[in-house]
Amino acid sequence: FVPWEDPEQKPFIEFRNVTKKFGDFIAVNNLSLKIYKREFFALLGGSGCGKTTLMRMLAGFETPTSGEIFLDGQDLSGIPPFRRPSNMMFQSYALFPHMSVEKNIAFGLEQDNLSKTEIDDRVAEMLRLTKLEQFAKRKPHQLSGGQRQRVALARSLAKRPKVLLLDEPLGALDRKLREETQFELMALQEDLKMTFLIVTHDQEEAMTVADRIAVMDRGELVQVATPSEIYEAPNSKFVADFIGDVNLIEAKVLEKGDNGTRMQAAVGDFAIDTEQTTSASVGDTVWYAIRPEKMRISQGQPEDSVTNQIGGIVWDIAYLGDVSIFHAKVGEDDHDILRATKANISRMVENPITWDENVILTFDRDAGVILT
């Protein structure tokens, strides 16, 4: 299931050169994006990057300043929210407190003048799908946070929208429940074969649930790709830094060859060889990035002659159970060096930290874009 790689596939949702201004402030800047049928798609970015505004324009709660939005081939301009074939589930859930769970779910269907039998069938189906059968007669205040979340979900899905819009849907849940609910959401999306669009600032959540992720920054898309592409091949320093942990080290390009590049790190006195060729010139300063889990730390003396090895002084080890994170000082810089399952390391002495040639990404020092 990779519709985005098939040029013949028609997008299900399409933003075409969409801009949204609030006064002089540009919240979304000339953004184009295609989302395909049955995708679980995540809009991910820090606070204020414009992800909610983008979703609200699709739902019809905001009007684009310029550009067009299409859903299943239909131009949405001028169509009010309640006539759009989308439904949005809000972070606050917005349940009616005086109505039972089943009444909450039925409410939107009654507004649509469906027959009583049809409403009853759909409510029963939704209660079953969201595992709420035994709570049908309860009021929202008699439910846990996770159950309330499921009622909101059932209510949004009951109308069988073409796309479900989820605005930070799990924000109010504690970590364990949040993780469980992420898997429930994925199962539900599989079962219903629907298109889900989620807005989140939580990178782990986006990586868990989504088929593809759009990383946003200051109203623009920085990268649109699958979770593994985003992690393994970030297209910029921003994405490498935003998704997961990364060690960013400044270095100068010493030599360029057909099979790789040699660099000199700006801190410490060590050389770095990568299998990557680079579009940077000899003498340029770049950032190189290594994921912590790709680095190894061992006991002993670092050796000057070895490349891809730095001497780091471990000053802190955070024990997290399944992994430990080592904080090491390299020259003047502190680095979160490594996640390892176990390592027998003395603190406060210099230890060699090593990595393989093929695990380094190089970014332009000023623009932050990847150098290939």
Q: Is 33 an interacting residue with respect to ligand ATP (CB under 6 A)?
A: no
Backbone angles phi, psi at 217, to 5 degrees: -150, 130
- State the residue number with the nearest CB to ligand ATP: 52
Q: Which of 333, 329, 353 is nearest to 343 (CA)?
A: 353
Selected from 18, 34, 42, 45, the binder of ligand ATP by CB under 6 A is 45
Binding segment for ligand ATP (CB under 6 A), chosen from 43-51, 71-79, 224-232, 323-331, is 43-51
Judged by CB, which is closer to ligand ATP: 1, or 25?
25
Based on the shown chain and the rule CB under 6 A, indicate whether residue 169 belongs to the binding site for ligand ATP: no
Under rule CB under 6 A, how many of the chain's residues touch ligand ATP? 12
Three-state SS for 262-289 is: EEEECCCCCEEEECCCCCCCCCCEEEEE
Taking alpha carbons only, the member of 162, 211, 183 closest to residue 58 is 162
Place of tokens 């995708």: 39
Measured over the CA atoms of residue 232, residue 235, residue 239 and residue 240, the dihedral's sign is positive
If the CB atoms of residues 109 and 199 are measured against ligand ATP, the closer one turns out to be 199
Enumerate the β-bridge partners of residue 167. 199
**DSSP output for 77-102:** TT--GGGSSEEEE-TT----TTS-HH
Amino acid at 301: Q
- 49/221 Cα distance (integer angstroms): 10
Q: Is the CB of 26 or the CB of 233 nearer to ligand ATP?
A: 26
Helix (H) or strand (E) holding 326: strand 324-330
Asked if 105 interacts with ligand ATP (CB under 6 A), we say no
Q: Hey, what are 366's tokens?
A: 């000023």
CB of 47 to ligand ATP, least distance (A): 3
Of the listed pieces 22-30, 271-279, 293-301, 357-365, which binds ligand ATP according to CB under 6 A?
22-30
For ligand ATP, the closer CB: 22 or 315: 22
Instruction: Rule CB under 6 A: choose which of 1, 6, 7, 47 binds ligand ATP.
Output: 47
Quick check: 329 binds ligand ATP (CB under 6 A)?
A: no
Q: Which of residues 192-251 bind ligand ATP (CB under 6 A)?
A: 201
Nearest distance from C-beta of residue 336 to ligand ATP, angstroms: 25
Catalog residues that contact ligand ATP under the rule CB under 6 A.
22, 25, 27, 45, 47-53, 201
